[in-house]
C-alpha cells in the first residue's frame, strides 16, 4: 500500500452505479479525505466520480484520476511494461491527492443574448429557434443579404420542391422576428471573454446606401452605367451593375454599392444612382461602422463553397465555357438565373442535346489537389439535375460518371433509382480522364469499369460535381473564437458522437456545413440542435466556474510582469498596494488574477521566476509530488 | 548571363537543329550557354528505377559540374530535362540515394541537389523574361496559328517537375505570344504521343498522333511546335505531312530574324 492509502478496491465497471456506490461507501466507512480512481481519461468520467464523492460528503476536488487506459493500456503493446507504468501513474495520483485542498467553484454571469455567425439556412434556423425560446439573437452575415447557398439552389432533393419557396418564408421570418437582429454586410472582427460573457466587435461594412431609407425599388440598378461586375449570385455566369440588390428575395431588400466597381467612388464622377433615387438613400460618404455587443453564446454557421474546379483541368473547366460546375448548372436551371431557367449551353446559347455529369470532382481525392473526404451531397444533387433535365427536355441524353453512388438518407436511394430507371439517365461506373473541345463539341474520354472498356462520348455540356469546402472565413472565425479546426478546416466537435454541435471551447456551438458536409435536412436538424444547446445555456442565470484558477502570492510576487505577458486570456493585471511582510511594510506592485477570466492553463506558473504564481488544484507542490512519485 | 548547358545525345544526332537553333538564338539574346565538358548520357530512362544507383551517376556528374561552376543548368531535350530534374530531386530529398551516390563518386564536395535545373523555356520565361524576348523579336510570327505540343516529360510528375499546370499548361502558349504568333489551345496538347510504344506497336502510336493532330487542327492550329525529340519523331512519322511540326527553337530562331539572315547570306 502507498503511504496514506487506507482502502483499495478493484472493480470492473467503476463508472456504473454499483461502482460509484463502492466509492461512496468507502468514503463514509473509512472517513476518506481523498479518492484516486485508476481508470479511463478524466475527460470521460472525472465529472461522474467527483459527483459521487460530493454525494458522499467529500469535496469533489479531492478526487484524482490516474488515466491508465488512453495513456497506458491502449497504447502499449508490452503488457509487463504497461502494467508497471499503470502502477507509476497510480503512485503519482496518490502523491498528488494527499496535497489536494478542497476547492469551491465560483459563479459567473450569463449574458442572455446569442450571436450567430453566418446567415445561410443553418444560421437562420438556429437564430429562429433561439428567438422562439425568447432570447435575443444577432445574425452577422458577410454578404449583403441572408439566404446563403440555399438561396442559389433551384430545387431540393429528394422532394424537388422549389428551394427559394421554402427558404424565403424563413428569411422573412428572421427579419420580422423581434428577437432577431440582422447585421448584414458585416464581419465579426474581434471576440474576447468566455462562455456566458463574450464580447464581440462587429465591422459593418459601408453599403453606401442607407439601409433604413432604401425601399428596394431597383431604379438605381437599371440606371447604373457600370454593368460589368460579375454576378456572384449567378456564379459569375452573367453581369450585374455596381449598385445592386443580390436577388429579388434578398433580405434586407436594400441595395449595396460595390466600391471596387462604382465609377463615382473610384473617380468621383457619375453619381447617377443618387440622382435617380427618390428616397434619397444613396450616401457615397458612408464609412464602415463598428458594433460592440456582449453575448452568452456564439454559434458558428459559416457554411461552405464549392472548390475551384480549375484545379482539375483535365476536365477543361478553365478553357471550355460549356464545362460548368453543378452550382453553375443550378443557376442555369433556375427561372431567376442568367438564362431564365432555360437550359442553354454557355458558349453559344444553343440547346444542348447531350450532357455528361462527372461526380467526385475533388472529393475523395488523395492526390493533394482536392479533398480526401466525401462531399456527401453530390450524388444526390447530380441525380436531381439529371432527372430534372430528362423530365423537362426528354430529347437530351444524360450520362453520369460515378465512382460509387452514395445515397444514405430517407428516400434518397429511391430517388436515385427513379433517375436511373424511370428517367433513363445513363449511369456509368468509372472515371473520366479527359474532357476537351473538338469541332465545336466537347469530347469526354472515360472508362466504363463494368464493361472494362474505354469510352468516348460527345457532349454539348459537361457538369462537374465539385467537392465542397468550408467557407474561407471559417479558419479566421475559428481562430478568433479559439474553436478547434481540423486539417480540412471543418470545425471540430467536442465529441464526434456525443457532443456533435458543440466546440470543445465552452460557449461555442456549430451549425451546418462548417462542421462537415451535410444536406439541407441534416443542416436544419443540426441548426435546431445547436439552438437547443444555446437555449440551455442562456436559460441559466449563473454558470459554475472552474475553481482551478491561478493565484498570486503577493508576499512572493516581485511585480516583474512575466505572467501578464504570457497570459492568453488577459486575466492578469497589476496593482500597487501596501504589503505587510511579517511586520515589514512596503508599497509595491503585485500581480492580480481575474478569476472570471482565468482558464487555468498554468502558463503563468511556469514563467513566474519567484514562484509566486500557483494554480489551484495543480499547485507547484502537487506537480512536484507527482514527478517525485514517478521518478524517485 | 552565363549558364551551364547540357545538350544530351539526341541533340548531337537526330535533333541537331533543336540544339543549333537553341544555341544561336541564345547567343543573339545575349545568353551565354556553356556546354558542360565531357558530358555523358543523362541516363535516359534508367535512373527511374528507384533502387538503382549506378544509372543515376552520370546525371549526378552533370549536376555536379554545373554546381562547381556556380551556374544554373539549362536543358533543351524534354527527356534529359525530366531525367536530370528527377535525379536532382532524388539527391535533394532522398537520404538513401544521396549517400550511396556520393559514396560511389566520392567527390571533393558531396552533392546534395544544389544545382537548379531549368529548361530552355524556363530560361526564356524566368531568367530573360517573355517581355524582354518580345522586344528582341525582329520577325514577329504575325497571323501564324501555332499549337503547342507539350507531351508528358516536361510536365510530369508535376510536383517534381514544377514546370507548369500539367492539365492546363501555358508556358509554350506565352512563348508563342511573345514571338508575335497566335497560340492555339487544344485539349490533346498534353496527351501521350506514343513515346517508345512506336517501336513495339506502331498502330497504337499512330492512333495517338492522329488524335492529337486532329484535335489541334479542329481548334485552328496550322502548325505544331514541340521541345521533345521523341515527340517530334512520332508526330512526323505518323501523319501524312499535312501538319508541319517544328522545334520550339526553330520558331524562336525564325522570330529573331536569324533564319532570314541565313537566307540573305546564302544569296
Whether the per-residue pLDDT at B267 is higher than 90: the answer is no
C-alpha distance from A568 to closest chain B C-alpha (Å): 39
Do B161 and B93 share a structural domain? Answer: no
Whether the per-residue pLDDT at A596 is higher than 80: the answer is no
Are A438 and B167 inside 8 Å of each other by CB? no
Whether the per-residue pLDDT at A530 is higher than 90: the answer is yes
Do B164 and B96 share a structural domain? Answer: no
Q: Which of A309, A313, A446 best tests the B interface by mutation, with the highest count of B CBs <10 A?
A: A313
Do A332 and A404 share a structural domain? Answer: yes
Whether the per-residue pLDDT at A127 is higher than 90: the answer is yes
Do B112 and B184 share a structural domain? Answer: no
Calculate the average pLDDT of chain A: 95
- What average pLDDT does the segment A45-72 reach? 96
Do A325 and A379 share a structural domain? Answer: yes
Max Cα-Cα span within chain B? 59
Asked whether residue A109 is domain-assigned, the answer is no
Closest partner CB to A439 (pick from B167, B168, B218): B218
State how far the Cα of A234 lies from the Cα of A337, in Å rounded to an integer.
6
Do B170 and B46 share a structural domain? Answer: no
Asked whether residue B125 is domain-assigned, the answer is no
Asked whether residue A37 is domain-assigned, the answer is yes
Which of the four pLDDT bands, split at 50, 70 and 90, describes residue A579?
A: confident
Q: Which of B167, B183, B217 best tests the A interface by mutation, with the highest count of A CBs <10 A?
A: B167
* HEC profile of A360-416: EECCCCCCCCCCCCCCCCHHHHHHHHHHHHHHHCCCCEEEEEECCCCCCCCCHHHHH
Asked if A313 has any chain B CB less than 8 Å from its own CB, the reply is yes
What's the domain count of chain A?
5
Model's pTM, two decimal places? 0.88
Do B103 and B139 share a structural domain? Answer: no
Range of the domain at A510: 115-197+289-303+471-544
Asked whether residue A160 is domain-assigned, the answer is yes
Show which of B120, B141, B164 is a domain's final residue: B120
* Domain at B85, CATH number: 1.20.1050.140
State how far the Cα of B162 lies from the Cα of B164, in Å rounded to an integer.
6
For residue B170, give the chain A residue with the closest CA. A319
Do A293 and A188 share a structural domain? Answer: yes
- What average pLDDT does the segment A200-219 reach? 97
Do A247 and A234 share a structural domain? Answer: yes
Show which of B120, B144, B179 is a domain's final residue: B120
Do A339 and A297 share a structural domain? Answer: no
Asked whether residue A106 is domain-assigned, the answer is no
pLDDT (0 to 100) of residue A223? 95
C-alpha distance from B175 to closest chain A C-alpha (Å): 18
* Domain at B140, CATH number: 3.40.50.1860
Asked if B160 has any chain A CB less than 8 Å from its own CB, the reply is no
For residue A318, give the chain B residue with the closest CA. B168
Do B249 and B203 share a structural domain? Answer: yes
Whether the per-residue pLDDT at B48 is higher than 90: the answer is no
Do A438 and A394 share a structural domain? Answer: yes
Do A178 and A321 share a structural domain? Answer: no
- What average pLDDT does the segment A173-202 reach? 96
- What average pLDDT does the segment B60-89 reach? 97
Show which of A97, A127, A151 is a domain's final residue: A97
Do B138 and B76 share a structural domain? Answer: no
Asked whether residue B134 is domain-assigned, the answer is yes
- What average pLDDT does the segment B49-71 reach? 93
Closest partner CB to A437 (pick from B167, B191, B219): B219
Closest partner CB to B187 (pick from A310, A312, A316): A316
For residue B213, give the chain A residue with the closest CA. A438
Do B160 and B179 share a structural domain? Answer: yes
Flag the least confident range among A74-83, A570-579, B215-224. Answer: A570-579
Show which of B91, B120, B149 is a domain's final residue: B120
Are B186 and A439 inside 8 Å of each other by CB? no
Asked whether residue A630 is domain-assigned, the answer is no
Asked whether residue A236 is domain-assigned, the answer is yes
Do A392 and A275 share a structural domain? Answer: no
For residue A310, give the chain B residue with the closest CA. B168
Flag the least confident range among A465-469, B178-182, B261-265. Answer: B261-265
Whether the per-residue pLDDT at A2 is higher than 80: the answer is no
Whether the per-residue pLDDT at B262 is higher than 90: the answer is no
Do A329 and A214 share a structural domain? Answer: no
For residue A444, give the chain B residue with the closest CA. B187
Whether the per-residue pLDDT at A493 is higher than 90: the answer is yes
The rounded percent of chain B whose pLDDT value lies above 90 is 92
Asked whether residue A450 is domain-assigned, the answer is yes
Whether the per-residue pLDDT at A1 is higher than 70: the answer is no
Show which of A544, A567, A585 is a domain's final residue: A544
Asked whether residue B17 is domain-assigned, the answer is yes
Complex ipTM, two decimals?
0.90
* Domain at A268, CATH number: 3.30.70
Exposed e or buried b per residue across A98-137, where buried means at least 16 C-beta atoms within 10 angstroms of its C-beta: bebeebeeeebebbbbbbbbbbbbbbbbbbbbbbebebbb
Range of the domain at B176: 130-266
pLDDT (0 to 100) of residue A595? 84
- CB contacts of A316 in chain B (<8 Å) are 168, 187
- CB contacts of A314 in chain B (<8 Å) are 167
Q: Which of residues 186-205 of B touch A (CB under 8 A)?
A: 186-188, 191
Angstrom CA distances, A331 to A380, A496, A596, stand at 17, 35, 50
Asked if B148 has any chain A CB less than 8 Å from its own CB, the reply is no
What's the domain count of chain B?
2
Are B167 and A313 inside 8 Å of each other by CB? yes
Calculate the average pLDDT of chain B: 95
Give which of B208, B228, B216 is closest to B154, Cα–Cα.
B228
Do B147 and B116 share a structural domain? Answer: no
Do B113 and B135 share a structural domain? Answer: no
Amino acid at each position: 500500500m502507498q503511504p496514506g492509502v487506507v482502502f483499495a478496491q478493484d472493480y470492473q465497471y467503476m463508472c456504473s452505479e454499483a461502482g460509484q456506490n463502492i466509492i461512496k461507501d468507502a468514503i463514509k466507512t473509512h472517513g476518506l479525505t481523498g479518492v484516486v480512481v485508476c481508470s479511463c481519461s478524466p475527460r470521460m468520467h472525472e465529472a461522474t466520480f467527483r459527483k459521487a464523492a460530493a454525494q458522499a460528503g467529500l469535496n469533489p476536488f479531492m478526487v484524482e484520476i490516474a488515466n491508465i487506459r488512453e495513456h497506458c493500456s491502449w497504447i502499449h503493446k508490452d503488457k509487463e511494461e504497461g502494467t508497471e507504468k499503470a502502477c507509476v501513474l497510480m503512485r503519482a495520483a496518490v502523491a498528488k491527492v494527499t496535497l489536494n485542498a478542497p476547492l469551491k467553484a465560483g459563479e459567473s454571469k450569463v449574458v442572455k443574448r446569442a450571436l450567430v455567425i453566418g446567415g445561410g439556412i443553418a444560421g437562420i434556423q438556429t437564430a429562429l429557434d433561439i428567438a422562439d425560446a425568447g432570447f435575443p439573437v444577432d445574425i452577422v452575415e458577410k454578404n449583403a443579404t441572408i439566404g446563403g447557398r440555399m438561396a442559389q439552389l433551384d430545387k431540393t432533393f429528394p422532394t424537388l420542391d422549389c428551394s427559394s419557396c421554402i427558404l424565403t418564408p424563413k428569411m422573412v421570418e428572421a427579419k420580422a422576428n423581434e428577437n432577431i437582429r440582422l447585421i448584414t454586410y458585416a464581419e465579426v472582427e474581434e471576440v474576447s471573454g468566455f462562455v456566458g460573457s463574450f464580447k464581440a466587435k462587429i465591422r459593418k461594412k459601408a453599403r453606401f446606401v442607407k439601409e433604413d431609407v432604401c425601399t428596394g425599388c431597383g431604379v438605381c440598378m437599371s440606371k447604373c452605367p457600370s454593368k460589368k461586375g460579375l454576378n456572384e449570385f449567378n456564379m459569375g455566369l452573367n453581369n450585374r451593375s455596381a449598385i445592386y440588390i443580390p436577388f429579388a428575395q434578398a433580405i434586407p431588400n436594400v441595395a449595396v454599392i460595390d466600391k471596387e466597381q462604382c465609377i463615382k467612388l473610384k473617380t468621383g464622377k457619375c453619381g447617377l444612382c443618387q440622382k435617380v433615387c427618390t428616397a434619397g438613400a444613396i450616401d457615397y460618404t458612408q464609412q464602415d461602422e463598428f458594433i460592440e455587443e456582449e453575448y452568452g453564446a456564439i454559434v458558428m454557421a459559416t457554411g461552405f463553397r464549392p472548390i475551384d474546379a480549375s484545379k482539375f483541368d483535365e476536365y477543361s473547366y478553365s478553357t471550355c465555357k460549356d464545362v460548368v460546375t453543378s452550382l453553375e448548372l443550378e443557376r442555369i436551371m433556375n427561372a431567376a438565373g442568367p438564362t431564365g431557367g432555360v437550359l442553354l449551353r454557355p458558349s453559344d446559347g444553343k440547346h444542348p442535346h447531350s450532357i455528361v455529369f462527372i461526380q467526385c470532382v475533388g472529393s475523395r481525392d488523395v492526390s493533394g489537389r482536392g479533398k480526401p473526404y466525401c462531399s456527401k451531397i453530390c450524388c444526390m444533387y447530380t441525380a436531381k439535375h439529371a432527372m430534372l433535365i430528362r423530365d423537362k427536355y426528354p430529347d437530351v441524353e444524360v450520362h453520369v460518371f460515378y465512382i460509387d453512388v452514395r445515397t444514405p438518407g430517407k428516400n434518397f436511394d429511391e430517388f436515385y433509382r427513379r433517375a436511373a430507371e424511370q428517367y433513363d439517365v445513363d449511369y456509368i461506373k468509372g472515371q473520366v480522364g479527359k474532357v476537351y473541345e473538338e469541332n465545336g463539341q466537347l469530347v469526354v474520354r472515360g472508362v466504363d469499369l463494368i464493361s472494362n472498356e474505354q469510352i468516348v462520348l460527345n457532349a454539348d455540356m459537361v457538369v462537374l460535381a465539385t467537392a465542397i469546402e468550408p467557407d474561407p472565413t471559417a479558419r479566421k472565425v475559428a481562430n478568433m473564437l479559439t474553436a478547434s479546426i481540423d486539417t480540412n478546416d471543418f470545425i471540430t466537435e467536442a465529441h464526434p458522437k456525443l457532443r456533435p454541435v458543440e466546440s470543445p471551447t465552452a460557449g461555442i456551438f456549430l451549425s451546418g456545413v462548417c462542421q462537415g458536409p451535410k444536406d439541407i435536412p441534416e443542416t436544419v436538424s443540426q441548426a435546431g440542435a445547436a439552438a437547443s444547446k444555446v437555449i440551455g445555456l442562456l436559460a441559466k442565470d449563473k454558470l459554475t466556474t472552474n475553481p482551478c484558477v491561478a493565484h498570486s502570492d503577493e508576499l512572493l510576487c516581485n511585480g516583474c510582469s512575466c505572467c501578464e505577458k504570457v497570459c492568453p486570456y488577459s486575466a492578469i493585471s497589476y496593482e500597487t498596494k501596501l504589503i505587510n511582510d511579517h511586520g515589514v511594510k512596503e508599497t509595491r506592485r503585485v500581480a492580480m488574477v481575474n478569476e472570471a477570466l482565468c482558464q487555468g492553463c498554468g502558463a503563468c506558473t511556469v514563467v513566474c521566476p519567484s514562484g509566486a504564481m500557483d494554480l489551484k488544484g495543480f499547485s507547484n507542490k502537487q506537480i512536484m509530488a507527482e514527478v517525485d512519485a514517478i521518478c524517485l | 548571363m552565363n549558364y551551364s548547358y547540357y545538350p544530351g545525345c539526341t541533340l548531337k544526332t537526330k535533333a541537331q537543329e533543336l540544339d543549333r537553333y537553341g544555341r544561336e538564338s541564345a547567343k543573339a539574346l545575349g545568353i551565354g550557354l556553356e556546354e558542360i565538358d565531357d558530358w555523358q548520357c543523362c541516363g535516359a530512362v534508367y535512373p527511374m528505377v528507384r533502387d538503382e544507383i549506378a544509372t543515376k551517376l552520370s546525371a549526378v556528374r552533370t549536376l555536379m559540374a554545373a554546381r562547381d561552376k556556380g551556374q544554373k543548368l539549362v536543358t533543351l531535350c524534354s527527356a534529359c530535362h525530366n531525367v536530370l530534374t528527377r535525379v536532382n530531386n532524388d539527391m535533394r530529398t532522398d537520404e538513401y540515394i544521396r549517400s550511396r551516390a556520393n559514396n560511389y563518386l566520392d567527390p571533393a564536395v558531396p552533392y546534395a541537389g544544389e544545382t537548379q535545373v531549368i529548361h530552355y523555356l524556363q530560361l526564356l520565361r524566368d531568367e530573360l523574361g517573355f517581355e524582354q524576348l518580345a522586344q528582341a523579336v525582329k520577325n514577329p510570327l504575325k497571323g501564324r496559328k501555332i499549337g503547342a505540343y507539350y507531351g508528358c516529360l516536361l510536365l510530369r510528375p508535376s510536383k517534381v517537375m514544377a514546370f507548369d499546370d500539367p492539365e492546363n499548361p501555358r508556358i509554350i502558349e506565352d512563348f508563342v505570344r511573345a514571338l508575335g504568333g497566335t497560340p492555339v489551345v487544344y485539349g490533346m496538347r498534353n496527351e501521350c504521343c506514343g513515346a517508345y510504344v512506336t517501336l513495339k506497336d506502331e498502330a497504337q502510336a499512330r492512333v495517338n498522333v492522329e488524335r492529337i493532330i486532329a484535335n489541334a487542327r479542329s481548334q485552328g492550329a496550322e502548325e505544331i511546335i514541340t521541345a521533345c525529340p521523341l515527340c517530334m519523331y512520332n508526330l512526323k512519322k505518323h501523319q501524312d505531312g499535312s501538319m508541319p511540326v517544328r522545334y520550339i527553337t526553330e520558331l524562336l530562331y525564325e522570330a529573331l530574324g536569324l533564319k532570314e539572315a541565313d537566307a540573305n547570306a546564302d544569296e
